[in-house]
């Protein structure tokens, strides 16, 4: 919020959603050239992806830039305890997402891509493990596959005269959670639904050691 109010744009943004996820995960952003070093310093520490080195509330209050024109409001001990309890009982978005073994988040984002065959799910898994299981299915089903530079696969499937082309991309949300995005670039809708829902999606959701989570049904 502070970054947007000062810079006028979001720190992590990209028209490609998966690239935006990568920027968020790596903490990649650029401050406007015209902001002061004091503001740049506090923004950089606020948006630190490492909780251990991220600026604390106490450090923010002591920061020279924050203290400019600051007026402290004294709360009673009871009010302070109420505020602390309300914060510790809150869950962030990643906490809520992690309650589901495989949460379909496609409806949370409006895509500018005209292709409707696009789905995203969140799973608690390592990207390498998801890729490995997809490759196992692809080899078993004789799919033509080509690995991308990072965590992704280009896939072509043929069943008789029917063919489809798919793109699978995986991006980290947190150390525990990843987003798996699958998109049909061309081909038969029926074959796409069969491959995705009956072959790929089940193995993506078959996480090892995911017994703590409820299913998304």
Domain boundaries, the chain: 2-90, 95-205
pLDDT digits 0-9 by tens, 48-100: 988 889 999 899 888 888 888 766 666 666 655 655 554 444 445 555 555 45
Q: For the whole model, what pTM was predicted?
A: 0.53
SS3 209: coil
Phi, psi of 28 (to 5 degrees): -90, 115
Low-confidence ranges of the chain (pLDDT < 50): 86-91, 99, 101, 110-115, 208-217
Gap between the Cα atoms of 3 and 200, Å rounded: 39
- What is the assigned CATH class of domain 95-205? alpha beta
- pLDDT digits over 102-111, tens only? 555 555 554 4
Class of domain 2-90: mainly alpha
In angstroms, the CA 212 to CA 120 distance is: 21
């Amino acid at each position: 919020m502070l970054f947007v109010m000062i810079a006028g744009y979001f720190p992590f943004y990209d028209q490609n959603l998966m690239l935006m996820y990568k920027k968020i995960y790596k903490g990649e952003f650029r401050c406007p050239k015209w902001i002061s070093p004091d503001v740049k310093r506090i923004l950089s520490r606020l948006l630190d992806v490492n909780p251990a080195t991220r600026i604390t509330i106490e450090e923010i209050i002591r920061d020279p830039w924050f203290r400019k024109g600051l007026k402290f409001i004294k709360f009673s001990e009871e009010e302070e305890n109420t505020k602390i309890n309300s914060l510790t009982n809150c869950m962030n978005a990643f906490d809520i997402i992690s309650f589901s073994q495989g949460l379909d988040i496609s409806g949370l984002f409006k895509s500018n891509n005209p292709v409707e065959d696009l789905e995203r799910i969140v799973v608690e898994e390592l990207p390498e493990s998801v890729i490995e299981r997809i490759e196992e299915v692809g080899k078993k089903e004789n799919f033509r596959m080509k690995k991308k530079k990072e965590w992704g696969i280009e896939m072509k499937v043929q069943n008789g005269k029917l063919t489809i082309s798919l793109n699978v991309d995986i991006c980290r949300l947190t150390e525990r959670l990843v987003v798996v995005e699958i998109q049909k670039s061309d081909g038969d809708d029926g074959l796409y639904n069969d491959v995705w829902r009956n072959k790929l999606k089940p193995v993506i959701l078959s996480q090892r050691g995911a017994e703590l989570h409820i299913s998304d049904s």
